[in-house]
């Protein structure tokens, strides 16, 4: 899905006029390529039903985005992580990609999901906060943010959810990334439990009692009650400079 959306935006950025049908053809080819080897799907779902939902969602999303103008797609970044409130260098080299930057400075994260975020989930959305942190460190301005959700419902639909962040939000996230980096450097990889866990190949190992190391999750020291369930995920990479 992301590859077809990225292709669509890049074609338009280069002055061409791609069609929804062309994007669907790309999505379909990618889908069949990914399903050459047998995959395990969630209960009551299979490859064909998900492909059909994906086709509908992609068509809907590109129609919604018909008037938008992308400034950058899968925009790479690499920078030294700094606390935006204090200016302290946190000793972490941070790099990754931003899904979409629209003209006007709106940063967008595109997600496929089976449901909307839980109450407060949009405000706690770590990837959007990280986008805002990176943009602020590079440009000195807190950007507008939007979560574009392609919902895999019985009647698939697209929702665009706008949100914003404050400077303290960005500073908290910078410190969170620093702590996660230190934990990883020491060989600690903590479970990040959510409703998605049942679809994860590591569920049996990560759940309490599934593996001795998972017991660390219960006693991990933190100064913020939300730290345990908001560890950074891909598409970000971070490490201490040599």
Following DSSP, what letter does each residue of 45-88 receive, concatenated?
--HHHHHHHHHHHHHHHHHHGGG--EEEEEEEEEEEEE-TTT--
Tell me, what's the pLDDT at 40?
62
- What is the domain range of residue 134? 70-169
pLDDT in tens, 133-176: 999 999 999 999 999 999 988 899 999 999 999 999 999 999 99
* Whether 140 and 119 share a structural domain: yes
Indicate if 35 and 50 belong to the same structural domain: yes
pLDDT at 150: 94
Q: Are residues 136 and 160 in the same domain?
A: yes
Whether 87 and 152 share a structural domain: yes
CB 90 within 8 A of CB 82: yes
45 and 80, same structural domain? no
User: Partners of 80 in the beta sheet?
Assistant: 93
Q: What angle do CA 159, 148, 164 make, to 5 degrees?
A: 105
- Number of domains the chain contains: 3
Q: What is the pLDDT of residues 219-233, one digit of tens each?
A: 333 333 333 333 334
Count of CB atoms within 10 A of residue 170's CB? 22
Check whether residue 39 and residue 76 sit in a common domain.
no
Domain match, 119 and 145 both? yes
Mean pLDDT per 10-residue interval, the chain, length 242 residues: 92 94 92 71 71 92 92 95 97 95 94 89 95 97 96 91 97 96 87 72 68 41 33 49 58
d(CA 74, CA 97): 5
The verdict on 182 and 235 lying in the same domain is yes
Kindly state whether residues 26 and 44 are assigned to the same domain.
yes
Output the six-digit token pair for 23. 């994007």
Question: Does residue 157 sit in the same domain as residue 193?
Answer: no
Q: In the chain, what are the helix, strand and coil shares in percent, each to the nearest 5? A: 40, 20, 35
Specify the long-range contacts of residues 204-213, CB closer than 8 Å, at least 24 apart.
213/189
Q: From 39, 67, 95, give the residue that closes a domain.
A: 67
Q: Write the CATH number for 121.
A: 3.90.320.10
* pTM of the full structure: 0.78
On whether both 75 and 162 belong to a single domain, the answer is yes
- Of 17, 47, 67, which one is at a domain's C-terminal end? 67
User: Could you tell me if 50 and 88 lie in one domain?
Assistant: no
Can the peptide bond before residue 235 be classed as cis, meaning omega within 30 degrees of 0? yes
pLDDT in the model for residue 238: 53
Beta-carbon neighbour count of residue 93 at 10 Å? 15
């Amino acid at each position: 899905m992301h590859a077809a959306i990225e292709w669509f935006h890049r074609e338009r950025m280069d002055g061409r006029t791609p069609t929804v049908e062309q994007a669907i053809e790309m999505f379909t080819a990618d889908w069949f390529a990914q399903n050459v080897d047998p995959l395990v799907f969630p209960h009551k779902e299979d490859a064909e039903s998900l492909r059909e939902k994906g086709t509908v969602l992609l068509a809907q999303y590109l129609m919604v985005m018909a008037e938008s103008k992308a400034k950058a797609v899968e925009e790479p970044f690499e920078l030294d992580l700094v606390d935006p409130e204090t200016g302290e260098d946190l000793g972490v080299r941070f790099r990754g990609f931003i899904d979409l930057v629209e003209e006007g400075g709106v940063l967008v994260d595109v997600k496929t999901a089976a449901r909307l975020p839980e109450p407060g989930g949009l405000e706690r959305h770590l990837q959007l906060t990280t986008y805002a942190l990176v943009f602020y460190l590079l440009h000195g301005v807190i950007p507008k943010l939007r979560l574009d959700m392609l919902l895999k419902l019985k009647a698939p639909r697209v929702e665009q959810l706008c949100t914003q962040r404050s400077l303290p939000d960005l500073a908290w996230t910078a410190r969170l990334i620093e702590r996660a980096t230190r934990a990883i450097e020491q060989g600690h990889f903590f479970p990040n439990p959510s409703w998605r866990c049942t679809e994860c190949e590591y569920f049996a190992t990560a759940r309490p009692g599934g593996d001795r190391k998972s017991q660390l999750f219960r006693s991990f020291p933190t100064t913020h009650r939300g730290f345990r369930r908001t560890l950074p995920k891909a598409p970000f990479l971070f490490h201490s400079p040599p």
